[in-house]
Every structure is written in C-alpha cells, then in structure tokens.
A and B are shown apart, each in its own frame.
Chain A
Amino acid sequence: MLLNSPQDQARVKRRRRKNQLFHFIFFVSTFFGVVALAILLLQILIQGFSWLDWQFLTSFSSRKPELSGIKVAMVGTIWMMSVTAPLTFIIGVSTAIYLEEYARDTWFSRLIQVNIANLAGVPSIVFGLLGLTVFVRLFGLGNSILAGALTMTLLVLPIIIVASQEAIRGVPMSLRHASFALGANRWQTIVRVVLPSSFPGILTGSILSMSRAIGETAPLIVVGAVAYIAFLPENLLSSFTVMPIQIYTWAGLPQKDFQNVAGAGIILLLIMLLSMNAIAIFLRNKYQKKH
C-alpha cells in the first residue's frame, strides 16, 4: 500500500487548508464581539470613572453635571426590584411547577406553553403599552412604582418560567418514581425531591430575569417613569425613575459633562448586573457540586 501517493497528499493538504480557513473565520467572529465589548467598556470607563464618587451616589439629579447624582434612580430601581423580584419568583416558579408536575398534556396546557414561549419574544415596548392600559389606567395606579413593577413582572415572567421548567424537567423521572413508590404524594415529591434538585437552575433563571428587569428602559418610559425627579419615592404609589432612564436622560442633555455623568451611571449599572450574574454562577456551582 502506498501511503503517500501524490493525489492523496494533495487532497489532505486541501482539507487542511480548509480547516485552517474555518479556524480563522471562527476566531475572527469571536474576536469581533470581544473587541467591540472591550472598546465600549473602555470608552465608558474613561468617560465616567472619575465621576463615579460618593457625591454621585448620594446626590439628586441636578442641572449642573458636577452636582448631579443617581440617588433617586438607584432608590427607584431598588424599590421596583423589591416588588418585581418576589412577584416574579413566586408566580414564575409556581407556573413552572404547575406545567411540569401537575398539568396533563391537554390542548389547554399546550396552548399555555406555546403562549409563554411567544411572550418571551414580544418586544418590551408592547409590555409597556399593556402596563399603561391595564395597570396605569384601568387599575388607576397612575405613574407609580407599583404600575412599573407589575409591568416589569409581566415582562420577565416568561424568562423565569422557561428557565424553571427546564430545570424541573432536568430532574430524572426515576427520582420521582422512587419517591412515589415510598408513598409520597406529588407535593411531597416536589418539595423534597424535585425542587432541591432543580434549585440551581431555577435560581439562575431568576437572577437572569432580574438583571433583564434592571436594565429595561422602554416599557417604564411608556408606563410613565419620570425623567427628572427631585425627591425620593415614599411608597408604592409614588412616582419614580430608574437607573437606565436616568442614564438615558443624561445622555440626551446638551452639556458635554453630562455624557460623563451618564458614563458613571452606566458603570454603576454594569457593576450591579455583573454582580447579579456572578451570584447566579456562584450559587449554581455551589449547589451543583453537592450531588
């Protein structure tokens, strides 16, 4: 047998060249995203880092850039999240449990399933309009934190439902059978077997949906979060603003220094988002190691 006939060698070389070409294309694609992100981050850091100080964190918004701060927006975001987070978690996980553990495979449950998948893809501005119609006008909540938080809950529910469903589906059937065979009912099986095993996935989904909610702007503008506000919210029916809206407002102002203020706001928002994602990853790894 001839191991290195000229034709074979030529063919092997051609295949290798092809491999190298694709290797290069994939590398460039990866590089493109990473570089774009790095440039963006760098620019924001240069612009905003020196503006990110204690004064910025503790001041109200002002007409003068050097006196402007993000306090109101940060407090607004915290208020909104403290309503959205528990609501989303309870409704989202309950829905996922119902669909995965209780619902029979009927046309009705399939309809719900398809709708949840579709809702995850609906543009956020549409949720804003829904919130405006239902919560602001119909329920008469006005341009309040509660209206904003409820709208945001609807927006991120599909994310947490889908993530929790996948986590629950990932629990092997054999574990449920073991539990049922010992005389456990469905609820006992869910609480003692299914949820502990799917907890890391559910947690990851929850935190990711929360970071989505923190960063959303459009629906809250529609619902009526105010761009400039000179006092802290007092209760759930107070008017409010949130960080992305404040950043958006600053970025639109004519004075050059406000771009830097906006940069400082973006850095703060990114820090919050990245730490939430880090917590999600940390918790997932921590609980996965247990099994």
Chain B
Amino acid sequence: MSNIVTVENLDLYYGDFQALKKVNMSIQEKSITAFIGPSGCGKSTLLRTLNRMNDMIVGIRIDGQVIINETNIYDSAVNVELLRKNIGMVFQQPNPFPKSIYENVAYGPRIHGISNRSELDAIVEKSLKQSALWDEVKDYLKKSAYGLSGGQQQRLCIARALAVNPHVLLMDEPTSALDPISTLKIEELIQELKQQYTIIIVTHNMQQAARISHDTAFFLHGEVVEFADTEKLFSNPDDQRTEDYISGRFG
C-alpha cells in the first residue's frame, strides 16, 4: 500500500504557544489511522491541519510540509476549496444543516456546481447507502435532518462528506457524543469505508482505536511519541510514555 498523506517537520504555533512540534508521519492509503492522546496533546490540531481548517484561526503559524497526493497543501498555488473537497471531515458533534435530509447530502455537490436533479438524486442515494442510512431515511428524504437521532445525524454527516467524493476522510472524535449502539454502527461503517477511502480518526477512546485502526499515533504535548502498527503499539510499545498512557497510568 502506498502513502497518501505525508507530514514533514510540521511545527504549528497558536501565537506564542507551540501546539505541534516537529511532527513527521506517513499515512497509508485506504486504511484507518487513529490519533490518540490526552486532551490538548495536538491530535485534533494535526487533523485540522490536513484540510486547512486551521486557516481560519487568527494568529496561527505553520512551518514544515503536509504533502497529500504529491502536493504540498500549504503551497500558495493550492486552492483550499478544492483541497477540502478532496479531504472530507466529520466533526465531534453531529452538525447537520437545518435543511432536509436530501438537501444536507446535496449541499456539497451543489456548492461545487452540480445542479442537475437526477445527478443529485443519484449522489444522494449513493452517499446515504455508503453511510448505511439509506434504508432508514429513504422515505423521509424531504424531512428535516433535525428529526433524526444523534447517531443517524452523525451518519448523515458522513454521507454529506462522502457526497463530494473525497479521497481522505478526517474524523474528529465522531462517536464521543453518541450512545454505545450508535457508536458501534459508526465503527462498522468506518470499517466498510476503508475499502474506498483513507480514514484518519481522532479518538479519546483507546479501545476504539484498538478495534478499528490499522495504524495508531500517540500524541503527547504536541509531539508524536510513537506511530506504529496498532497491534504493536497496544501490545508492545517502544516508548515508556506510550506504555503508561495505554495502560491507564495517566491521561
């Protein structure tokens, strides 16, 4: 398998505070990579660096390179709208738009210029099927997304992200606001999606990382302490701090 995302010597500062320190990482295509670590360790910051959602924060400074599909995404020639079309994102809290289920999924394609009705219909159906929501909502596509349960809303958000046909899907603690059954459904869904997409998931839940991911990165104080095969990282970590964290001695 080949690498799709490569992070090289990445430093990130919020004003004077250094949130990421010399991060180096290569992420495999069509696999699931988990970022774990205690709160404030920089794992979400790194995730948001990959689709440049950090750009909106005032006073942020980034050194180093993030290369996705052989392009440095912080190059001035890169079009951030197209980057985000290619790198989808799912957030911690389900955040559907106050629109119908259909319009939520069709939002991205419409933004990028698709207005043909049958084309949109096809995208909506395909995306909802991919996110395992189609059977539950196919008769209610015109109903408000706010009528769905939290877990359904999160799967709708995944469908919405898939609708613009991204290569990479970033997930920022996608199950932390959900009950265990909804969490399980999302985890199964993520396993399905890795056939076609590269998935990078930030999680607070170490069992989740162990269950679903292929590789895991452990973050601490803005540094990547250890990045390895998930099985190895959880059974036989190289670094003492990783050992301490996964065995629950802190964090």
- Residue of B with least CB distance to A174: B95
- Contacts between chains A and B (CB distance < 8 A), count: 65
Within 8 A of B (CB), among A154-192: 172, 174-175, 177-185, 188, 192
A184-221 toward B: CB 8 Å interface, digit per residue (1/0)? Answer: 11001000110011000000000000000000000000
From known contacts A188-B111, A291-B144, infer whether A183 and B81 are also in contact, taking CB-CB under 8 Å.
yes
Answer yes or no: A105 CB below 8 A from chain B CBs: yes
Answer yes or no: A137 CB below 8 A from chain B CBs: no
- Residue of B with least CB distance to A192: B107
Contact B84 A181 (CB under 8 A): yes
The tally of residues in B whose CB lies under 8 Å from a CB in A reads 29
- Bound-state CA distance A177–B112 (Å) is 17
Interface hit among B24-32, B33-41, B85-93, B226-234:
B85-93
- Bound-state CA distance A188–B99 (Å) is 15
Answer yes or no: B56 CB below 8 A from chain A CBs: yes
**Interface size for chain A: under 10, 10 to 19, 20 to 34, or 35 or more residues?**
20 to 34
Within 8 A of B (CB), among A104-133: 104-105
Contact A178 B81 (CB under 8 A): no
B123 → A minimal CB distance (Å): 13
- Bound-state CA distance A172–B85 (Å) is 22
- Residue of A with least CB distance to B89: A181
A132 → B minimal CB distance (Å): 43
Contact B91 A184 (CB under 8 A): no
Interface of A is mostly: helix
- Residue of A with least CB distance to B99: A196
Task: List residues of chain A with CB within 8 A of the CB of B83.
Answer: 183
Answer yes or no: A290 CB below 8 A from chain B CBs: yes
Out of B95, B112, B144, which one reaches A175, CB within 8 Å?
B95
Within 8 A of A (CB), among B105-138: 107-108, 110-112
Contact B98 A197 (CB under 8 A): yes
Contact A184 B88 (CB under 8 A): no
14 new A-B contacts, CB < 8 A, other than A174-B95, A182-B85, A196-B98, are A104-B58, A174-B91, A175-B95, A178-B97, A178-B160, A181-B53, A181-B84, A181-B88, A182-B160, A183-B108, A184-B111, A185-B81, A192-B107, A290-B144
- Bound-state CA distance A178–B170 (Å) is 12
A101 → B minimal CB distance (Å): 12
Contact B84 A183 (CB under 8 A): yes
- Bound-state CA distance A180–B58 (Å) is 16
Task: List residues of chain A with CB within 8 A of the CB of B98.
Answer: 175, 196-197, 290-291
Contact B95 A183 (CB under 8 A): no
- Bound-state CA distance A291–B145 (Å) is 9
Contact A175 B97 (CB under 8 A): yes
Task: List residues of chain A with CB within 8 A of the CB of B53.
Answer: 177, 180-181
